[in-house]
């Protein structure tokens, strides 16, 4: 198993959460916290609690305005994309031939975590630099 840093894991969890929110939009997406670690065990290592890391990532995305919490707790996540998240995902930067959302969708589906780990920081940076949200 590849060793990932907590930032790598954050980027991978962020990609999955945003992609799933996009697919459900405009409806909220509901997921049990343990589902992510069960469906994508390659993201999580032994040094971090997968549920805690997933919940912390969701909380950060809410605080930064990429998603809205629709009643999450420590067991279940319920969230929907915000305007900021939706707009950022639909951007197609000059360096990509597809939108951030399409690149995340393709790479998450293929388990191409090295690509995901670079796309998410670009997405967040683009949102910040362009004043999205």
In order of start, what are the domains of the chain with their CATH numbers?
6-119 (1.10.10.10)
At 52 the pLDDT is 87
How confident is the model over 107-126, as a mean pLDDT?
Answer: 91
Grade residue 4 by pLDDT with cuts at 50, 70 and 90: confident
**Vertex 56, ends 46 and 29: CA angle to 5°?**
110
Q: Would you say 61 and 15 are in contact if contact means Cβ atoms under 8 Å apart? A: no
Distance, CA of 92 to CA of 89 (rounded, Å)? 8
Summarize pLDDT for 19-60 with one digit per residue, the tens.
999 999 999 999 888 888 888 888 887 777 888 888 899 999
Grade residue 133 by pLDDT with cuts at 50, 70 and 90: low
Higher pLDDT, 94 or 87: 87
Tokens of 80: 């929907």
Residue 7, Cβ density class (10 Å: 0-12 exposed, 13-18 middle, ≥19 buried): exposed
* pLDDT above 90 as % of the chain: 56
Average pLDDT, the chain: 88
Element (H, E) at 123: helix 113-129
Distance, CA of 76 to CA of 111 (rounded, Å)? 24
């Amino acid at each position: 198993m590849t060793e990932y840093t907590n930032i790598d894991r954050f980027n991978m969890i962020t990609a999955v959460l945003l992609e799933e929110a996009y697919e459900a939009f405009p409806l909220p997406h509901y997921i049990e916290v343990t589902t992510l670690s069960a469906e994508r065990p390659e993201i999580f290592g032994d040094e971090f609690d997968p549920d805690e890391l997933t919940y912390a990532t969701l909380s950060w995305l809410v605080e930064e305005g990429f998603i809205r919490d629709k009643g999450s707790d420590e067991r279940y996540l319920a969230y929907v994309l915000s305007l900021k998240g939706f707009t950022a995902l639909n951007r197609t930067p000059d360096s990509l031939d597809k939108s951030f959302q399409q690149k995340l969708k393709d790479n998450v589906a293929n388990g191409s975590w090295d690509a995901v780990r670079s796309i998410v920081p670009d997405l967040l940076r683009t949102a910040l630099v362009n004043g999205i949200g």
